[in-house]
Structure 1
């Protein structure tokens, strides 16, 4: 049975158009004609007595009503997928979760180990940046995501997993090691950051913006998507980065440092679609 085939075809067309924002490309993706896509959207607009999209300056955007329908349709598709999986489970359960690279590399090993010790349990873990995980969550491909980045609290439900201090990170023989430094000294350093879309980068950029600074003030900024490689380069090249304090527990060759008058804490959150099936998945996993 094809996953999602119990959901009205017109709703699936609507969700695809929400993602692609182009009628022609949506038709190609769904192997339909463009007039058929238009008919599906017009049917929904008549059924719900509202406009779902607004087209201006060759840009297609969702109306407020369209955003509401998108949220409900995403929940329906996710729950349909979970029903099919649940009906096939005879013992234990299977979860599809997303974790950001910071969280996945330094926070989740023990929890996942304990979860898998239960007979019949299985798990699929996707490790990616915050933006990509939120996209997968919206498509119903994840039960929940554990992220440290920012997200739209009007679109997603959430629960705090833990609160962690956000600190500077450097090699143990770096002049900043275990010290509190002035902001002006930080800009002389070789800064390593994750790619755009990652939670730690977004948090750090917001901190800089709050104090009227930006990345251009650093002498050198290098972008590395792999956290392990980044830590290796920081040690070898005597660079710095900013991350959660838990990173330091796993590598004794790294040390933390603080910026004067800047003590920052940030949350790790379970983020999920706002429905009881997703919440139950979070409750089950969190007990481990």
Structure 2
């Protein structure tokens, strides 16, 4: 267990104000200052720096706060496990929008043998990562990029990522579809922070292009809405093949055969670095691995 000085530093990192930190902790401002100085002296490292009236954490201070937050979250999780029977525990999981359609139901079904108390959060990759940092969820399933120094991950599977459009799109009349052909089409793209958007954006960058090079764009946060627009013959998009298995079988939607485009992307179960519950998460991931 960490002593109260570490908690004070974590609160100060959030408020960036000695006064607000004191109010939050119900202690005096001098007490906050004294605790921070005491911690700096003990560790022999500068944790907080001041520039005029503004304060900010040093690199070492930021590193320590990340550790404090992780320890606090793990501590709360372990105490909950001790206090309650395993059947009564609530598992809190996060999922990106795309994965919530074809992988989250499978995940929930695999957990029903151990608990019937499950809470889910569905958002883009950036928000799932932030929820992990704040302890709002225990683990998440994402396809986007993340900091491997901050999070551990178990790859569940690799999913095929494809370009797709309506079977009625005149673009399909092209013998060889190039990026230049695509740029003339209406692009249906996910919002910033989406793992799906990041995958496509990264591929474009390897070809020296970017999303803004498309003449027409519609940004949509929900993949289900994108699929419906595609079925209505509105534009092109890029997504996981598993999202549109039935539409492809029925030839309502068609995979775009694009020169130089072939992507298989890992789907990861992610959690805080060096988590006490790593083995538990490995068992969950194994049930989803196909």
Q: With structure 1 as the length reference, what TM-score do the two structures score?
A: 0.85
Q: Is the 8 A contact 2:269 2:285 kept in 1?
A: no
- The verdict on how the C-alpha distance between 1:193 and 1:40 changes in structure 2, with shifts beyond 3 A counting, is farther
Structure 2 counterpart of 1:262: 261
Range with greater deviation from structure 2 (127-136 or 91-100)? 91-100
CA distance in 2, matches of 1:260, 1:58: 56
Instruction: Tell me, in whole angstroms, the C-alpha distance in 2 between the residues paired with 1:46 and 1:172.
Output: 68
- Written as runs of structure 1 = structure 2, the 5 A alignment for 1:111-150 is 111-116=107-112, 118=113, 120-150=115-145
Distance 2:172 2:52 in 1: 53
- C-alpha deviation, 1:245, in angstroms: 1.6
Question: Highest Rg: 1 or 2?
Answer: 2
Match of 1:107 in 2: 103
Matched, 1:68 2:63: yes
2-side partners of 1:249 and 1:57: how far apart? Answer: 59
Return 5+ residue gaps in structure 2 as ranges: none
Give the aligned partner of residue 3 of structure 1: none
C-alpha distance in structure 2 between counterparts of 1:255 and 1:28, whole Å: 59
Q: Does 1:158 align with 2:157?
A: no
Unaligned segments of structure 1, at least 5 residues: 1-5
Matched, 1:283 2:282: yes
Q: Secondary structure at the match of 1:269?
A: strand
2:243 aligned with 1:247: yes
The question of whether the paired residues in 2 share the 8 Å contact of 1:137 and 1:143 is answered with yes
Structure-1 residue corresponding to 2:166: 171
Instruction: Give the structure 2 partner of residue 10 of structure 1.
Output: 5
Alpha-carbon distance change, 254 to 70 in structure 1, aligned in 2, over 3 angstroms: farther
In structure 1, the partner of 2:212 is 216
Change (3 A) 1:280 1:212: same
How far does the alpha carbon of each residue in 1:62-97 deviate from its partner, in whole angstroms, 9 at most, with x for none?
Answer: 433223312321221111111232123324343211
Say how many residue pairs are matched.
282
> Could you say what secondary structure the match of 1:154 adopts?
coil
Deviation at 1:22, TM superposition (A): 5.3
Decide which of 185, 195, 205 is 1:199's aligned counterpart: 195
Task: Sort the Cα spacing of 1:211 and 1:60 in 2 relative to 1 into closer, same or farther, 3 A.
Answer: farther
Aligned to 1:44: 39
Q: TM-score by structure 2 length?
A: 0.84
Whole-Å separation in 1 of the counterparts to 2:28 and 2:169: 61
- Taking the aligned partners of 1:143 and 1:122, their CA distance within structure 2 comes to 13
Contact kept, 8 Å, 1:180 with 1:259, in 2: the verdict is yes
Determine the structure 2 residue equivalent to 1:273.
272
